[in-house]
Amino acid sequence: MSKISPICCRIKARRGLAHLGLVLAVLSLVASSCGGKENASPPDADPPATEEAEGNDESVTIDEEPGTDTGGTQESPDPDPDEDPDTTTAPDEEPPVVCPPEGNNDWSTSFTASSDWPSASAETLLANAAIGAHDGYDRFVLTFDEQTEPLSWMVQVVDGQPVRGASGLDLDIEGSEFLLVVVAGVADYLLETEDQYAGPRQLDGVDAGTSNLVQAVLSGDFEAQVDWHIGYDQINAFRVFALESPPRVVVDMCIEDTAAG
């Protein structure tokens, strides 16, 4: 049997170690290269998400109420489209009513009466009294039962304290200035008490929403005529006229009056 030289064995061992070292070095380089690629961000990957999206100037809190102060600059709220900053009157608002109308001579400031006053040929009964608010004026209306003759009426401004027609006693009525409305030919006094006028005897402007008319009071029913006093904040121009079906006497008083002087 042949013998292997010790020197030859040592040479082979050294060559094996050299090859092993080379293999290990190559493996180390490969591992290092792969690890770097795994940790690197891909070139097309999106950046990490943040609480505030890119491009927004302000962050928003879910519970934040519009218009609250968050320490930053607050934008002014959008103007109300219904508001007109340049005028004090809304575009759709109608111009104020002129009372009395220009050129209308049916309005008075002192005394007015029907053409047949003080005739009392008609015999009628008072059926109702009412007041109401209108554009530019307040209205007072006396309604009567049907009759054949036109109503005879008179309206005048009261000078001083209003009094009851028959007794002359002071009348308890609210207002600063007053009108007296008298209608003749009312036959209420001929009837039994239970058949006489049963409508309102006092009317309050606050209930009707009137602006100038404060109160109206039935102040007399004597000798075929009925009296009503009307209290106002001020006496302005007024007009009086009669209507038919049913018969009515109407008194309109201007709320404001530039023509009364």
The predicted pLDDT at position 241 comes to: 96
- Any bridge partners for residue 89, and if so which? none
Q: How many CB atoms lie within 10 A of CB 251?
A: 24
CA distance 177 to 162: 9
The predicted pLDDT at position 249 comes to: 96
Domains identified in the chain and CATH numbers: 111-254 (2.60.40.3500)
Residue bearing tokens 């809304």: 90
pLDDT single digits (tens) 102-146 = 888 899 999 999 999 988 777 889 999 999 999 999 999 999 998
CA distance 82 to 54: 37
- Any bridge partners for residue 70, and if so which? none
CA distance 100 to 257: 7
Closest CA to 203 of 131, 144, 138: 131
Which portions of the chain are predicted below pLDDT 50?
A: 1-2, 4, 7-9, 11, 13, 36-43, 45-79, 81-91, 260-261
The predicted pLDDT at position 29 comes to: 59
The predicted pLDDT at position 55 comes to: 39
Closest CA to 182 of 151, 150, 159: 151
One-character DSSP codes across 81-137: TT--TT-SS-TTPPPPPPSSPTT----BSSEEE-TTTT-----B-EEEEEEEEETTE
Closest CA to 228 of 100, 128, 147, 116: 128
The predicted pLDDT at position 101 comes to: 87
CA distance 205 to 216: 8
The predicted pLDDT at position 197 comes to: 92
The predicted pLDDT at position 93 comes to: 61
